[in-house]
Amino acid sequence: MKRPVFAALRLFVSMSAVVIVTGGAAAAVPGGPIDPGRDYHSFSNPHQLMVEHVDIAVQVMFEERMLDGVVDLKVRRIDPDARTLILDTRDLTVREVALVKPDGRDQELRFSFGETDPNLGTPLEITLPQSLDAFVTGKDEKNNPHGSLMVRVTYHTGENASGLQWLTPQQTAGKKHPFLFTQSQAIHARSWIPLQDTPSVRVTYRATIFPPEGLVAVMSAARDKGAGSTDDVEFEFEFEMTRPIPSYLIALAVGDLKFKALGSRTGVYAEPSVLDAAAREFADTESMLKTCEELFGPYYWDRYDLLILPPSFPFGGMENPRLSFITPTVIAGDKSLVSLIAHEMAHSWSGNMVTNATWRDLWLNEGFTVYLESRIMEALYGEERRAMEDVLGLRTLRDDLARLPPQDQVLAVDLRGRDPDDVFSSVPYEKGRLFLVYLESKIGREKFHNFLGNYFAHFAFKSITTEQFLAYLHEKLLEGKRPPVTEEAIKQWVYAPGLPEDAVLPKSDALIKVDEARKQWLQGHKQASELGTSAWSTHEWLHFLDNMPEKLTLVQLQSLDTAFMLTGTGNAEIAHSWLKIAIRNRYEPAMTRLEEYLMSIGRRKLIRPLYEELMKTDWGVEFARRVYNKARPGYHPIAVNTLDAIVLKGE
Ligand code: BES
Ligand code: ZN
């Protein structure tokens, strides 16, 4: 079948460098040509006044479920005539805004909130005085001709801040202390700090955090006392991030945390009862970091630590710089799910160093990262392991392509008027990886490898658009008489739905054997116990289960469960695949486990498909609603937002 190519999309995009312009997002109505580089998910005006440094000081108040404090924003004057600074906020209460003089004295400023947009929050409009001379610092003819200003906002967060999850002691492993963590990506930093919440703006930051006595604060930044100092009782934790990062990478967690070193540059933070298991599971982290440096170039963030969160964390992982946030559901006991660590670590290059300029360009972060993840897994654990993981990834892409409307199957996706969380799919991830694998196959691994290294060096600590990447690709690899890849092919990959016919797809011999085993069993040629599964890895199990027919008989379900103890598995991913089958076939013996699972895990990728399966049948709707109502208070706001639309619809 021939697929419609780029032209059909009537999308005009220039291949030249793009100037970042944001602001006026509320006025953006979907439709019309996209302006690449414009961030439709921020109200801010960095083309006039650009925040360059953020300094926050907040008190962590568990009883009130509130962060209360002050943020100082160092604002670079790009347009000397600009007198309105627009910040992004969501559910924030602002008590005071002031302009701070170099001598520390300040002058109160007028401010007002604009109209609230359900996806974007509320713009905070701050009016600057006509005469700014007394406030300007750092003027420098060449680098900062109009100088910078210091704006101070005194504020506190709202009860339902979308970027914060406040956990009761009951929701933690230790059950004694409360826990707080942030999740800023994509547009939730604005719910806990008023700032220019766009990945096109990069800031350095400092922070002073005041947690309750006895609890430890960690951030995506260097601690003044050095990593791992969790033993003394402290009242004040100071952090500094000296590399410019986008706002979605500012991150904080507070809880009963202990630290264990994994290597000289790596370590893990977790609640005490989880620490040893986590350290064992992620023992390869230091060698992974070395592998990354060999493959992708220098690591610019000094340390790489992991923070193991309570199970309500809505994602598998989050690449907060220097400190990836990780779900405990990947602690399987056999290192079988550590590709997640490879993924978050790879973001140190693709994402944290070279960053998507807008959320339309997310595939530059995620597609590159999934490609790098494959390279790391191949280098550390061999080609077969990589192949299995790539095949499982392709499966999720196929499922998503079957479900998504054509316009959401493209890499550079139009998110105007929508919440990026609602459009989340495997397309930027897996289609992104396949695009890079395709380029690699046409150009040759060595040449492509060098291209990648140069790409990271060229755009280091910059935020770039899809079109800037394409222009660079063109210049470095596709110019000349006989380019290895045609312009049409590139455009199809980036702007057209579906998968190009000549995509290079992964194949795994091990998984082909699993297909064979499944067939033997389904046709009754072999008993479950005769399938030779004793050495199967998690990947083989997932492939075995995920490709079962829709319907199995009760006898078949029982024979699988008896032979492999699937209902009781301690592996959260295998349990997920099994529970989907159990729901489809209303396999009663698994229902208690299903309920426990939904009550204890908040990782969206694992629970959302289970609720979706349940919602397909009458008995399931009832089950889903009953369990969801109990579980909902323990889920993260991001998961609640997704699940409300699935479970409560039509109620
Ligand atoms: N940065 C993402 C998580 C994310 C993406 C949060 C977009 C909000 C908006 C993170 O690196 C990620 O991709 N996590 C995956 C795991 C990965 C192995 C595919 C996840 O959480 O499932
Ligand atoms: Zn990622």
For 199-214, write each residue's pLDDT tens digit. 999 999 999 999 999 9
Cβ within 8 Å of residue 370, ≥6 positions away: 343, 393, 429, 430, 432, 433
What is the residue with the minimal CA distance to atom 20 of ligand 1?
Answer: 316
% pLDDT > 90, the chain: 92
Amino acid code (one letter) for 399: D
3 close to 497: Cβ distance less than 8 angstroms:
yes
Query: Does residue 26 surpass a pLDDT of 70?
Result: no
Ligand nearest to the CA of 326: 1
With bands split at pLDDT 50, 70 and 90, how would you rate the model's confidence at 21?
Answer: low
540 close to 510: Cβ distance less than 8 angstroms:
yes
The finding on whether 318 has its CB within 6 A of some atom of ligand 1 is yes
The finding on whether 608 has its CB within 6 A of some atom of ligand 1 is no
The finding on whether 44 has its CB within 6 A of some atom of ligand 1 is no
Which residue among 336, 366, 601 has the greatest number of ligand 1 atoms within 8 angstroms of its CB, and so is best to mutate?
Answer: 366
Distance CA 412, CA 360 (A): 5
Please indicate whether residue 501 is annotated as part of the active site: no
The finding on whether 186 has its CB within 6 A of some atom of ligand 1 is yes
The finding on whether 347 has its CB within 6 A of some atom of ligand 1 is yes
Write out pLDDT tens, residues 400-410.
999 999 999 99
Nearest atom of ligand 1 to the alpha carbon of 605: 22
With bands split at pLDDT 50, 70 and 90, how would you rate the model's confidence at 226?
Answer: confident
Task: Provide the mean pLDDT of the chain.
Answer: 95
Nearest atom of ligand 1 to the alpha carbon of 420: 9
Encoding tokens for residue 280? 């064992």
Query: Does residue 30 surpass a pLDDT of 70?
Result: no
Say how many C-beta atoms besides its own lie within 10 A of residue 55's C-beta.
18
CATH 3.40.50.970 fits 43-256, yes or no: no
Q: What is the mean pLDDT of residues 250-278?
A: 98
The finding on whether 613 has its CB within 6 A of some atom of ligand 1 is no
The finding on whether 352 has its CB within 6 A of some atom of ligand 1 is no
Q: How far is CA 481 from the centre of its chain?
A: 40
Q: What is the mean pLDDT of residues 438-454?
A: 97
The finding on whether 415 has its CB within 6 A of some atom of ligand 1 is no
Query: Does residue 8 surpass a pLDDT of 50?
Result: no
Q: How far is CA 475 from the centre of its chain?
A: 30
Encoding tokens for residue 322? 């220097």
Query: Does residue 422 surpass a pLDDT of 90?
Result: yes
* Closest among 42, 16, 21 to 186, alpha carbons compared: 42
From the candidates 234, 271, 319, 344, give the one annotated as an active-site residue: 344
Write out pLDDT tens, residues 74-133.
999 999 999 999 999 999 999 999 999 999 999 999 999 999 999 999 999 999 999 999
Distance CA 384, CA 475 (A): 34
Which residue among 183, 245, 318 has the greatest number of ligand 1 atoms within 8 angstroms of its CB, and so is best to mutate?
Answer: 318
Per-residue model confidence (pLDDT) at position 28: 45
Ligand nearest to the CA of 320: 1
Domain ranges of the chain: 4-17+350-495, 43-256, 520-647
Q: Quote the ligand 1 centre to 299 CA distance (angstroms).
A: 20
Q: Quote the ligand 1 centre to 318 CA distance (angstroms).
A: 6
Q: Quote the ligand 2 centre to 346 CA distance (angstroms).
A: 8
| pTM of the model as a whole | 0.95
Ligand nearest to the CA of 185: 1
Query: Does residue 232 surpass a pLDDT of 90?
Result: no
Q: Quote the ligand 2 centre to 318 CA distance (angstroms).
A: 7
148 close to 203: Cβ distance less than 8 angstroms:
no
Cβ within 8 Å of residue 191, ≥6 positions away: 89, 90, 91, 92, 121, 157, 158, 161, 162, 163, 164
Say how many C-beta atoms besides its own lie within 10 A of residue 478's C-beta.
18
What Å distances lie between residue 107 and 52, 97, 99, 134, 578, CA to CA?
Answer: 21, 9, 5, 11, 62
With bands split at pLDDT 50, 70 and 90, how would you rate the model's confidence at 651?
Answer: confident
Distance CA 306, CA 283 (A): 11
Distance CA 562, CA 386 (A): 30
Encoding tokens for residue 465? 């658009």
With bands split at pLDDT 50, 70 and 90, how would you rate the model's confidence at 17?
Answer: very low
Query: Does residue 24 surpass a pLDDT of 80?
Result: no
What is the residue with the minimal CA distance to atom 1 of ligand 1?
Answer: 318
Nearest atom of ligand 1 to the alpha carbon of 314: 21
Q: Quote the ligand 1 centre to 316 CA distance (angstroms).
A: 6
Residues with CB under 5 A from ligand 2 (ion): 366, 369
**Strands 252-255 and 258-261, sheet pairing:** unpaired
What is the residue with the minimal CA distance to atom 3 of ligand 1?
Answer: 318
Q: Is 102 exposed, middle or buried (0-12, 13-18, 19+ CB in 10 A)?
A: exposed
Note the CATH number of domain 520-647. 1.25.40.320
H or E segment and range at residue 377:
helix 362-381
Amino acid code (one letter) for 630: K
Write out pLDDT tens, residues 407-421.
999 999 999 999 999
Please indicate whether residue 429 is annotated as part of the active site: yes
* Closest among 315, 293, 295, 313 to 304, alpha carbons compared: 293
Write out pLDDT tens, residues 267-322.
999 999 999 999 999 999 999 999 999 999 999 999 999 999 999 999 999 999 99
The finding on whether 344 has its CB within 6 A of some atom of ligand 1 is yes
Q: Quote the ligand 2 centre to 315 CA distance (angstroms).
A: 10
User: CA angle 269-272-276, nearest 5°?
Assistant: 75
With bands split at pLDDT 50, 70 and 90, how would you rate the model's confidence at 486?
Answer: very high
Q: What is the largest CA-CA distance in the chain?
A: 86
What Å distances lie between residue 286 and 261, 264, 316, 341, CA to CA?
Answer: 10, 8, 20, 11
The finding on whether 605 has its CB within 6 A of some atom of ligand 1 is yes
From the candidates 155, 248, 269, 429, give the one annotated as an active-site residue: 429
* Closest among 381, 362, 379, 484 to 429, alpha carbons compared: 362
CATH class of the domain whose range is 4-17+350-495: mainly alpha
What Å distances lie between residue 424 and 186, 391, 402, 419, CA to CA?
Answer: 10, 20, 15, 9
Distance CA 242, CA 229 (A): 20
Q: Is 68 exposed, middle or buried (0-12, 13-18, 19+ CB in 10 A)?
A: middle
The finding on whether 246 has its CB within 6 A of some atom of ligand 1 is no
The 164-167 sheet, strands edge to edge: 164-167, 179-182, 252-255, 216-219
What is the residue with the minimal CA distance to atom 15 of ligand 1?
Answer: 316
Cβ within 8 Å of residue 621, ≥6 positions away: 614, 615
166 DSSP β-pair partners: 180
267 DSSP β-pair partners: 261, 305
* Closest among 124, 594, 188 to 421, alpha carbons compared: 188
The finding on whether 313 has its CB within 6 A of some atom of ligand 1 is no
* Closest among 376, 473, 494 to 427, alpha carbons compared: 494
Distance CA 114, CA 543 (A): 50
Q: What is the mean pLDDT of residues 341-370?
A: 98
